[in-house]
Amino acid sequence: MDYIPVNTPLIGDLEKEKLIECIESGWISSEGPQVSEFENNFSKLVNRTYGIAVSSGTAALDIAVAALSIGAGDEVILPTFSIISCSAAIVRAGAKPVLVDSRLDDWNMDVEAIESKISKKTKAIMVVHTYGLPVNINPIIELSKKYGIFIIEDAAEMHGQFYFNEPCGSFGDISTFSFYPNKHITTGEGGMIVCNNKSISDRCKSLRNLCFQKEQRFVHKELGWNYRITSLQASLGLAQITRLESNVQRKREIGMRYYQNLRKNKNLILQMTETKYSQNIYWVFGMILNENFDKDAKHVMVELNKLNIGTRPFFWPIHLQPVFMNKGWFKGERYSNSEIMAKRGFYVPSGLTLSNDQIDYVCEKISTILG
């Protein structure tokens, strides 16, 4: 079997057409009409009034935190099991990340652990929908009302996912997406902020574009970033949006095929296929080695690589990140589920171009390695 990479994006003729159209029009910067068209089309998909396209999902989180004026002295509650982008946005703003553990069944933040972490300093809860299933968000909305705190919703892995009947990305005061090539739709690099509030949207647009002023260009009252997206990327995005439904459907098929093949393996913990509010869209197909199994994820990943199978480890928890531990942060804090997930979790090829034969091959090899 040829090498099976962990992801290959699905890009076709429509993308080519849109890109050629964009190149021929000469509008290749962020000034082209494709950017606002992409923003409009995407924000409609997730029932939001405003969309602000940016250069990455990470950029979207930086802007989200800044747009809510979160800064020194503030705290933001988030799952320790998340990508560095989430904590980086909070830390760079001068605020403090306050952590909660995740669950071993849906792999999302433990919603019941949030309330005890709320303090007078809490400004926001950053919800990170993880690996295909949404966070149980209704109780978090209750908390946000009760304590008057914002919700930042990181929906980077959730294009096309719903919580009950509402799209993911429709719940935050600000919600963010990524269009990195391993997401359900891609623009190569890219991201999107969505919200319903005009002044928040204006602020995001300003922060994206260096906080240039209308009155006098090059005079700044605030610092922003150049987090603009190009029209070339937006053109890709416009084509990709038309694939969203079928991409999600295929991702579900891939996930369910892996699940059916592996569910009986006693050495594996798999993410729930569904919850009472959603059906897994399998951003990636991940697995956690049961603690009875005497080797960790690293070992299994090396073995799979020898068999031409690409893998990636799970997120590394925030409280174990050297960049924060070196500052003496999170000392003595333990989040046992997240630690298990980090050391014993990995994911296998999950891209949209994967064939069923490749999935079965991967499963066969996993079964051989794990017994």
Cβ proximity to ligand PLP: between 51 and 363 the closer is 51
- Report which DSSP code applies to 215: S
Q: Is residue 168 a contact residue for ligand PLP (CB under 6 A)?
A: no
The edge-to-edge listing of strands for the beta sheet with 312-313 is: 268-270, 285-289, 345-348, 312-313
Nearest-CB residue for ligand PLP: 57
Q: Give buried/exposed letters for 295-323 (b at 16+ CB in 10 A, else e).
A: eebeebbebbeebebbbbbbbbbbbbbee
Choose which of 35, 99, 151, 156 interacts with ligand PLP (CB under 6 A): 156
Answer for which of 7, 30, 34, 58 binds ligand PLP (CB under 6 A) is 58
* Contact partners, residue 326, CB within 8 Å, separation at least 6: none
Apex 197 CA angle, 114 and 243, nearest 5: 85
Q: Which is nearer to ligand PLP, 154 or 173 (CB)?
A: 154
Strand order in the sheet with 96-100: 50-54, 191-195, 174-178, 150-154, 122-128, 75-79, 96-100
Measured between alpha carbons, how far is residue 246 from residues 99, 159, 184, 230 in Å?
Answer: 36, 12, 10, 26
User: Is position 154 an interface residue for ligand PLP (rule: CB under 6 A)?
Assistant: yes
Sign of torsion over alpha carbons 129, 58, 69, 202: negative
Element (H, E) at 100: strand 96-100
DSSP lists the bridge partners of residue 177 as 192
Q: How far apart are CB 30 and ligand PLP at their closest, in Å?
A: 16
Residue 336, C-beta contacts closer than 8 angstroms, at least 6 positions apart = 101
Which range binds ligand PLP by CB under 6 A, 118-126, 138-146, 149-157, 263-271? 149-157
Residue whose token pair is 């980077």: 156
Single residue of 50, 180, 282, 316 touching ligand PLP by CB under 6 A: 180
Beta carbon of residue 71, minimum distance to ligand PLP (angstroms, whole number): 21
Q: Does 89 bind ligand PLP (CB under 6 A)?
A: no
Applying CB under 6 A, among 7, 34, 80, 85 the residue interacting with ligand PLP is 85
When the beta carbons of 28 and 84 are compared against ligand PLP, the nearer one is 84
Q: Which stretch binds ligand PLP (CB under 6 A): 54-62, 134-142, 145-153, 204-212?
A: 54-62
What are the two backbone dihedrals, phi and then psi, of residue 347, each rounded to the nearest 5 degrees?
-125, 160
Q: What mask, x for binding ligand PLP by CB under 6 A, covers residues 102 to 131?
A: --------------------------x---
Fill in the amino acid letter for 25: S
Choices 26-34, 45-53, 150-158, 341-349 (CB under 6 A): range interacting with ligand PLP: 150-158
Stretch that binds ligand PLP, among 35-43, 51-59, 245-253, 337-345 (CB under 6 A): 51-59
Q: Could you tell me which residues come within 8 angstroms of residue 173 by beta carbon, excluding any fewer than 6 positions away?
A: 68, 124, 150, 151, 152, 195, 197, 200
| Residue 83 lies near ligand PLP (rule: CB under 6 A) | yes
Minimum distance from residue 185 beta carbon to ligand PLP (Å): 12
Asked whether position 174 contacts ligand PLP by CB under 6 A, the answer is: no
Per rule CB under 6 A, count of chain residues that contact ligand PLP: 12
Output 108 or 122, the one with its CB closest to ligand PLP: 108
| 316 counts as binding ligand PLP under rule CB under 6 A | no
Told to check if 282 binds ligand PLP by CB under 6 A, we report no
Structure tokens at 114: 């949030």
Q: Applying CB under 6 A, which residues contact ligand PLP?
A: 56-58, 83, 85, 128, 154, 156-157, 178, 180, 191
